[in-house]
Structure 1
């Protein structure tokens, strides 16, 4: 296995026609179906990069920007944005295309942290990422920032470190009724 790989070596994309069976009660494509497709392509990308079985460790921020209609083509694109020792951040972009008009819409982007596993389910090292341009550097740096922010947020709000009285004044502007001792 290579010690380092480019994002291009692991990049994958899929296109799928959205069928009535993919729709929700509002007649749009169900967000859960799109999330399932996103997880599949993140797995494919991470597995291709690591040459190993991968599992989803976390998903960072999924915003549904535009609805997807039944009959549209949905294209998902995935690339490695960051590599740690045993984990990878896979950037996933979802676009829809109206086949009659040719109009395309950016529907969402998300970041999946995937971890490589061996046959016994233990984490294994992954190849590092060769960053070839400013776009790749921006994506890698953004992933580093997200990782640090998540750690800081988790630590700050852990039950052992959280100090409720420091947040009480923030509740005044929120739709909440506090009945806390």
Structure 2
């Protein structure tokens, strides 16, 4: 009988220790919209944030013949994000929002950026003179999310393809946000 009482607490301790190793114990970022990347050892790094430039360009045909297409892109300075992650490594993101009551798919976007020698960009919409409008052309990375702390989400990517990426966090309480802030990282 005494052996049973000793074994049960020991088993509970082992199970809770294994579960604790799975949990992330990193504190939430300080400000809304900030993103931490956490590696499997629990080390955390704040991702670079930039206010993006929104640029709309029209093809030469629009100027010459009134026929063509206009594209709107977001631009980030620099050819590469300073935070470089390895594909296949186990890492997660902690993203602070206004609260963690909203479905994270509605407010968090993780999307691909095209890198050039000078900057990184993503096309957000295009419109042709014949009325064809294509908006939200971003290529998104799928993720799973769990609540973390009082107002953050713990994000795990479902896929880790190589490339440059951006993360945005929208505030569901504001209908007209004035600036787009993008946190960036890369997977090699």
Please indicate the TM-score interval, normalised by the length of the shorter structure.
under 0.3
- The structure where helix makes up a greater share of residues is 1
Larger Rg: 2
TM-score (norm 2): 0.21
The structure with more strand, counted as a fraction of residues: 2
